[in-house]
A and B are shown apart, each in its own frame.
Chain A
Amino acid sequence: MPENPLPPANPADPANPANPVDPVDPVSAPDRSAVRVLLRLWPYVRPVRGRLFTAAFVAIVASCLSLVIPLVLKWLVDGPVADRDPGGVWLGALYLLLLGIAEAVLFGFRRWLVARPLAGVEARMRSDLYGRLQRLPIAFHDRWASGQLLSRGTTDLMLVRMFLAFPLTFLLVNGVTILAGYVLLLSQDWSLGLVLLTPVLPLVVVCSLFEGRYGRVARRAQDQVGDLTTVVEESVLGIRIVKGFGRHRSQARAFRELSERLHGTELLKARLLAMIWAVITVVPELAIGAALVLGTVQVADGDLSAGTLVAFLSTALALRWPVESIGFLLAMSQEAATATERYFEVMDAEEEPDTAAPEAPRSGGPDGVRFENVVFRYPDAPEDAPPVLDGLDLHIRPGETLALVGGTGSGKTTLTALVPRLHETTGGRILLDGEDIALMDRRRLRSLVSTAFEEPTLFSASVGENVLMGADGTAGEPELRRALAVAQADGFVDRLPEGAATRVGEQGLSLSGGQRQRLALARAVVGRPRFLVLDDPLSALDVHTEARVEAALREVLRGTTALVVAHRPSTVMLADRVALLSGGRIAAVGTHQELLRSSEEYAWLMSGEKERR
């Protein structure tokens, strides 16, 4: 999202460059040829190529039939009707009927042939995009606004489907028609035919110029649609803030600004399209006009028969529509090409490389979690920025619960994200029971480590499904009850309209922050994981509930190795030892009491009081 939708929208703000968030700069991509881009669709088109080619062939045949029908009409009028031959009239009408039926059936057949396959291509591309996005590194998602991703999965793919349905076929059909028309024209009168050939070269030049410009503008429009999508999404996600501060007017104004920008781009697109369309209309007409004048002179000179001239010109006029249509067919193709380009920008992003250990998982003795000289810097952070974690060493003993305490922004949450490899360490190693996590298969790693995030996200599914997600399908009703009990969530869950079967999440009942947090905690513990990572798991609970959850959680923590990010003494109480994270390293490790005595920073973080002890 480049353009800030918020009130103080300041267009001159250097932090908000005019171009979209996409890390790829579309315009500077060297020599992007629409054809080359569109060819990338081939893997998706391949499975339906038979039907697509058949459909194109049928379209050509149907177009030819459409050309034949007028000929039959002429024959009917000139022949049987003029001769008053009733048999011939019947025959002619029958031919006409048969041709008509054939034409109708072929037209329908073409559409029937491509209907399902094209919808299928669109759906497959969308599924692939979704699957891909689920597997791209978290860092990728940090960088891309979700509206940009969404618009790629919706409007862009619709453009691609429309391209396959229409321009692809008709560029071919009309191309063939034009070619055949020219052959016919040249064979009728080659000198007049040559006159009609003169506009071809300038038109090709104009078209290719147009293509480049139109492509750039189309791209801009698509990016702006993505930005608009982001604003709409944020306006809902942040609706409480908008309302709490009464900012819906300024929000609407910002939205308007953005949509006006899109409006401008679309008008520019229309201007380009209008221009090319006008040129493609005028230039061939001029040639036809020239041919008409020359032909008339030739007829007058007796070099040409009037009949030939009429035939020649009617052929030329019949080619008018195929030629004119090239303009918008090219425009649609160009839009499809930029849409394809946008699509593949995401598809080309590197997935997390899979690093399954070559040998069977080592069953080293329990050693807990070891951080060895861990360095981490966000992949997109500026070069000169200091790493978030800078040579961090920490050992969580097997079965131990370690609290992680640190100032705001010290990297606690970042550290927790490294354990299940949501981010990859920049340097150093993390060992689980002696096994380097960088060499473990991610799925196996994530089945060993369970996390309760700072932000308790619930998905649109039942309470039970949301909790059992944490257990790889191995847990059932008893485990669910146990986990809910640990998180002290059984009480409110049972009071929900349908108990644990109540749908929650975005498309369900919305729960309070404390309730969501307890469900997220239940999700983390339901699978009895070997390693547990809890990021400030009790922040939204009231004192009574917190105390009860702590009591129950202690039981769970006894059997697992856990890292708990703590902001308050009450959470620290869960832990056997505490580690203080400061300046990207572990500054101190010890019990709560020890650190209170020995570390000024720790004392400050826990009590909020600066005075020396």
Chain B
Amino acid sequence: MTDTTLTKPPAPAPDEPDPFDRDDLPAPPGATGALLRSLLSAHRARVAVAALVLLVKEAAVQAGPLLVAYAIDRGVPAFRAGDHGPVVAVALGYLLCAVLSGLLQYVFVRGAARVNQDVLLDLRGRIFRHAQVLSVDFHERYTSGRLISRSTTDVESLRELLSEGLQELIGVVLSFLSITLVLLWLDLGIGAVATASFVPLCLLVQLYRRRAGRVYGERSTAIAGVIVKFAETMNGIRPVRAFRREKANDAEFDALNRRHERSNGDALLEMARYVVGSRLVANTAVAGMCLWGAYRVAEGSLELGVLAAAVLYMRRLYDPIDRLGMFLNSYESAAASLTKIAGLLAQEPGVPETTTPRELPHREGAPGREVVFDEVRFAYRTGGEVLPTFDLRIPAGQTVAVVGATGAGKSTLAKLLARFYDPTEGRVLLDGVDLRDLTTPDLRRGIVMVTQEAFLFSGTVAENIAIGRPDATREQIEEAARAIGAHDFIRNLPDGYDTDVRKRGGRISAGQRQLVAFARALLADPAVLILDEATSSLDVPGERAVQQAMDTVLKGRTAVVVAHRLSTVEVADRVLVMESGRIVEDGPPSALVTGDGHYAGLHRAWRDSLVG
């Protein structure tokens, strides 16, 4: 973790709510629609085919009544006349239609599902990949819970829209269009009334969309809040138990859960309102059209037969308004979720990947590389300067220890070198190449950082070490573990290197995790190794093993060690003492120990702490 106390932006003024707190990251206007379009654009052809299939299928279904009419009008008299042809034709026709509609139904469901799932796969991948390139800083504020919410519940909303939406939308559009046309063809007047009734319906839809959009936005925020709390509790279950937080947590969770319940209920109620409103408009229009039509029949300006047909169609005209409602419902829900996702995707990565990469110069001999901070100034985006113009040259192969109080800028130095951030001004150079000009793989072959928190991913111990070098063989993995003194404890785990760190007996202490983290770094075998307070949980033998590894396996590498434990510092060629973002002492430990500088003071205190 970072020395962020003094460097984090000041809390936003109360009248300016933090978009992170409100879970409402700004997306550029139109980003939501653009996202949906870009997700679907690759599947345009398949959507068209699916629509066509649905169209043909509807036709096959609609053929049923026609066949009934044909059977009665033609089949019966022909059969009486001894001609079985028409009846056979009906039988075959019906068989054909039945099989065709079933088959097309099958094709459509599968085709639509393919589009749907491809889009979701694409979206999940985009969210994940984008989140991975966003800065550590961003994640500290966004929290894992929100990201989980984006990639599960919000993606789920889109799934609902896509799985039913397409069918519904096509069905709705088809039947509105076809029936309106039929009505207009039957009678221009009645058709016009029917068309006119779309005006209030559209207004209703507008109103519903506005309100539902708001409610669904709120719901998505609410469920994210629930997830954040949930995840936090599960990850901190030990202190929760030890400090008897259960009841207090129940209450807090309840409040968040209630907020979600309320917006969930609100969403369902909005739908109820829309259903009532649209049905009222539709049924009133039907009654009105009937009345008007009846009068015109009485007047003689309308044929009775036309009215009869029109009346039957009128009712069917409004059949799809419920389905339209369901479509709008899932659309608004998905739109609200997509807005949140678009907000996330609109976040600029703090350290963009270069488009014009440069290669590191080839080096003969020792694997270490030279590091130069060239007039680097660093300030967090919203102020709070951490490194005022900073110059530093670390020759290849040198081990540099950085000490200083919390907030002195040690971790910032480490993070700039690891390119977790880019400097506000100036350059950080690795063998003369600006870090910003290196591709990620080149950068990581060059520089690797081990941090204080030694997180283990799900999977086996071996896999966790292999993060350092994905293509490493088992021998190399074990060798790295052996070099850091982790081999013995790993071998004693239930399944040795294949022990799943989250499963049976795979409990691994903080110290052991740090050893695994070191093994990772050894395996990565970088030119420059950064240790950011990476030894805090190690016991003395563990520390010794690390020092030994640095003396042997990592010999010749450039190393930057941020440490508060001076035992790690002792092996350094050079010590930097930092204060308020400046280097106040610089020299070999043996030189700094004498006199009454900062380092000498630290060293004395440390000596005292070692009383043995």
Contacts and interface: CB of A to CB of B under 8 A. Distances in A.
Nearest to A523: B243
Contacts of A126: 226, 257
A293 B283 contact: no
B506 to A, nearest CB: 9
Interface string A250-284: 11100110011001001101110111011101100
B560 to A, nearest CB: 13
A428 interface: no
A115 B80 contact: no
Contacts of A13: 460, 498
A297 B498 contact: no
A6 B467 contact: yes
Nearest to B94: A289
A511 B1 contact: yes
Interface in A385-441: 385, 407-409, 412-414, 417, 420, 422
A310 B68 contact: yes
B68 A457 contact: no
7 contacts: A138-B237, A142-B502, A240-B453, A420-B242, A542-B405, A544-B602, A608-B540
Interface in B123-173: 124-125, 128-129, 131-133, 136, 139-140, 142-145, 147-149, 151-153, 156
Contacts of B230: 130, 149-150, 153
Interface string B397-421: 0000001011100010000001010
Nearest to A131: B250
The 8 lowest CB-CB distance pairs between A and B, nearest first, are: A100-B283, A246-B444, A270-B113, A7-B470, A108-B276, A4-B459, A104-B279, A289-B94
B236 interface: yes
Interface string B77-91: 101100000010011
Interface in A1-33: 1, 4-10, 13-16, 21
Given A235-B131, A288-B94, A299-B72, 15 more contacts: A8-B471, A138-B238, A154-B153, A155-B152, A229-B151, A240-B136, A270-B112, A296-B71, A409-B512, A457-B239, A507-B228, A510-B8, A512-B1, A541-B564, A605-B539
A446 B247 CA distance: 14
Nearest to B472: A8
Most B CB contacts (10 A, CB to CB) among A93, A99, A138, A234 go to A93
A497 B95 contact: no
B336 interface: no
A362 interface: no
B19 to A, nearest CB: 13
A554 B276 CA distance: 72
Nearest to B262: A119
A536 interface: yes
B541 to A, nearest CB: 5
Interface in B421-473: 440-441, 443-444, 448-453, 455-460, 462-464, 466-468, 470-472
Contacts of B152: 150-151, 154-155, 225, 228-229, 232
Contacts of B403: 542
A229 B609 contact: no
B375 to A, nearest CB: 25
A127 B291 contact: no
B298 to A, nearest CB: 5
A86 B117 contact: no
A8 B466 contact: yes
Contacts of B286: 96, 100
A215 B288 CA distance: 49
Given A126-B257, A242-B132, A236 B242 contact: no
Given A73-B315, A127-B257, A380-B505, A569 B10 contact: no
Given A133-B234, A243-B136, A282-B99, A498 B11 contact: yes
A4 B102 contact: no
B611 interface: yes
B199 interface: no
Contacts of A317: 64-65
Given A239-B139, A543-B605, A112 B272 contact: yes
Interface string B226-262: 1111111111111111111110011001100110111
Contacts of A510: 1-2, 4, 8, 140
Nearest to B326: A166
Contacts of B226: 126, 153-154
Given A73-B315, A104-B276, A16 B459 contact: yes
A232 B235 contact: no
A3 to B, nearest CB: 8
B597 interface: no
Interface string A216-250: 00000000010011111111111111111111111
Contact of A568 (B117, B540, B544): B540
B591 to A, nearest CB: 19
Nearest to B272: A111
A interface, size bucket: 35 or more
B417 to A, nearest CB: 11
Interface stretch (A75-83, A177-185, A203-211, A363-371): A75-83
B131 A7 contact: no
Contacts of A587: none
A585 interface: no
Nearest to B418: A244
Interface stretch (A38-46, A448-456, A475-483): A448-456
A70 B315 contact: yes
A384 to B, nearest CB: 9
B282 A150 contact: no
Contacts of B565: 543
A539 B156 CA distance: 43
B489 A245 contact: no
B590 to A, nearest CB: 18
Contacts of A37: none
Nearest to B133: A248
B113 A266 contact: yes
Interface in A125-143: 126-127, 130-131, 133-135, 138, 141-143
Contact of B294 (A93, A231, A279, A542): A93
A443 B42 CA distance: 58
A306 interface: yes
A573 B612 CA distance: 9
B67 interface: yes
Interface in A284-332: 285-286, 288-289, 292-293, 295-297, 299-300, 306, 309-310, 313, 317
B56 interface: no
A93 B462 CA distance: 79
B312 A73 contact: yes
A505 interface: yes
Given A81-B307, A310-B68, A570-B610, A240 B223 contact: no
B395 interface: no
B269 interface: yes
A506 interface: yes
A195 B511 CA distance: 76
B186 interface: no
B109 interface: yes
B33 interface: no
A107 B116 CA distance: 30
B580 interface: no
Contacts of B101: 281-282, 285
Contact of A86 (B71, B250, B295): B295
A344 interface: no
B242 A279 contact: no
Contacts of A409: 489, 492, 508-509, 512
- Chain A CB within 10 A, most for which of B72, B148, B260, B293: B148
A197 interface: no
B6 interface: yes
A546 interface: yes
A103 interface: yes
A509 interface: yes
Contact of A273 (B109, B144, B145, B406): B109
Nearest to B517: A241
